[in-house]
Structure 1
Amino acid sequence: MPAGTITSILLASAVTHSAPLMNAQAQQEFYNNLLPLCGKAFEGKVINPTAQDESFSSKRLVMHVRNCADGQIQIPFHVGDNASRTWILTWTGSGISLKHDHRLPSGEDDPVTMYGGHTQAAGFAHHQSFPVDPFSQELFIKSKIPASTGNTWHMSVYPDRFTYALTREGRNFEVQFDLTKPVELPVTPWGYKD
């Protein structure tokens, strides 16, 4: 079809105007796919571990989809006896935000906490990516971990598995959880109430 025809213009316009709806639909479906997991915990393992992953691959890994309310899903990620990590997914209206809430054993904030990113592309009903946001980049620089300024986090959810991954240049960390075998609920994460 020749460029510049009315049909081409109408098609281009339809694609442009439907993009936000398509984005919202895929992201909403992804969010909704997590909701049936609420109240359950699952064991996971590091996929293709490297020496960098020793502190994770040598421990029992459990995710607990602990709280799903008010447009937010809280997923504590337990690494052995360490209950410092909670992934927080928030439906923002323009996509999904992922934050990493890190706490000290006392319950107080870790110096490096609430970092993460926000969806910037449509993604898929079973997979979303969260490129690092400016707040997190500033935090990583201030905390003298500049390599993390290139982070992108990924989450996938299928009927039988959930995957959390971190990618950046020189780093590819991935944990996969078996959703077919719920496990006993872990302890309350540090800084949270029963």
Structure 2
Amino acid sequence: MTYPSSYRPALRRARLPLHATLAALTLAACSQPAPEPADTEGEADPQVAFMANLSQHCGQAFAGQLVSTDEADADIASQPLVMHVASCAPDQIRIPFHVGDDRSRTWVITDTGTGLQLKHDHRHEDGSEDAVTQYGGDTAEPGSATRQEFPVDAESIALFEREGLAASVTNVWAMEVDDTVFAYELRRPAGENERFFRVEFDLTTPVETPPPAWGSE
């Protein structure tokens, strides 16, 4: 995927926390006349905008469906799927992903100041961590306000190899959010371990808030 070259310096600048950025934008909008259209060098950091797009749904839950067709995911496809934007700290958003009665999965998106990080927090029903947990990756590109990609990081590769999951060492995760859809995606390159998983949630119709994810009560 190719991005405008003007986005690239955004990852190298010190960024304000999300709440400070939004407050500054709100104050500017209230105290100044509408500015002239800015050139691309003045555009907002796309990753701050992505976090803001997620944060506007904080506290809400949404139903989804699997749109990929890998046979390995047949069991997930047959169950109710719900994502819950459970908490939105200035630099971190936690989104439990419920599969039927299974509340073991939480997506954790963190603004590290130099990029975004996605981790998967997997828990047992008693709240203890699964053997395969806290894996994920960091953005390698600025992305956009609506899509971010997370190539697997070195720590996760070591975990996968230790747990006999070598097929996962080429994972690339992605998240998308726009006015109507939130999507979570996993891809592996074509080949023996090729993989594609994508679930999409309807943001136009909130559903009843589910119970907390395991380990977060």
TM-score when scaled to structure 1?
A: 0.88
Identity %: 47
1:19 Cα offset (Å): 2.3
- Residue 48 of structure 1 deviates from its aligned partner by 3.1
Count of residues in correspondence between the two structures:
178
> Separation in 2 of the partners of 1:63 and 1:161?
12
User: 1:151 maps to what in 2?
Assistant: 171
Q: Distance in 1 between matches of 2:212 and 2:85?
A: 12
- Indicate whether 1:178 and 2:198 are aligned: no
Distance 1:45 1:129 in 2: 20
Q: 1:123 aligns with which of 125, 134, 143?
A: 143
Kindly provide the CA deviation profile for residues 151-193 of structure 1, in whole angstroms up to 9, marking residues without a partner as x: 0000000100000000003101000000001000011110012
Matched AA of 1:75 = I
Could you tell me how far apart the structure 2 residues matched to 1:52 and 1:183 are?
27
* Contiguous gaps of at least 5 residues in structure 1: 1-14
Q: Where does residue 37 of structure 1 map in the other structure?
A: 57
Q: Does the Cα contact within 8 Å between 2:70 and 2:195 map onto a contact in 1? A: no
Deviations 1:89-129 (A, max 9, x none): 01100011100000011100000000000011011110000
Q: Provide the residue aligned with 2:8 in structure 1.
A: 19
- Give 1:137's aligned residue: 157
RMSD: 1.5
What do residues 23-77 of structure 1 show as CA deviations (whole Å, max 9, x unaligned)?
A: 8711111111101110000000000322111121011000000000141100000
Residue 156 of structure 1 aligns to a residue in which SS?
A: strand
Cα distance in 2 between the residues matched to 1:108 and 1:81 = 17
Query: Take 2:130 and 2:90, find their aligned partners in 1: how far apart are those partners?
Result: 25
Deviation at 1:22, TM superposition (A): 6.8
**Secondary structure in structure 2 of the residue aligned to 1:37:** coil
Task: Detail structure 1 runs of 4+ shifted over 4 Å in the superposition.
Answer: none
State the match for 2:211 in structure 1.
187
Amino acid at match of 2:146: H
In structure 1, what is the Cα distance between the partners aligned to 2:104 and 2:173?
18
TM-score (norm: length of structure 2):
0.79
Match of residue 65 from structure 1: 85
Match of 2:104 in 1: 84
- After TM superposition, the structure 1 = structure 2 runs for residues 105-124 of structure 1, keeping only pairs within 5 Å, are 105-124=125-144
What code does the residue aligned with 2:148 have?
Q
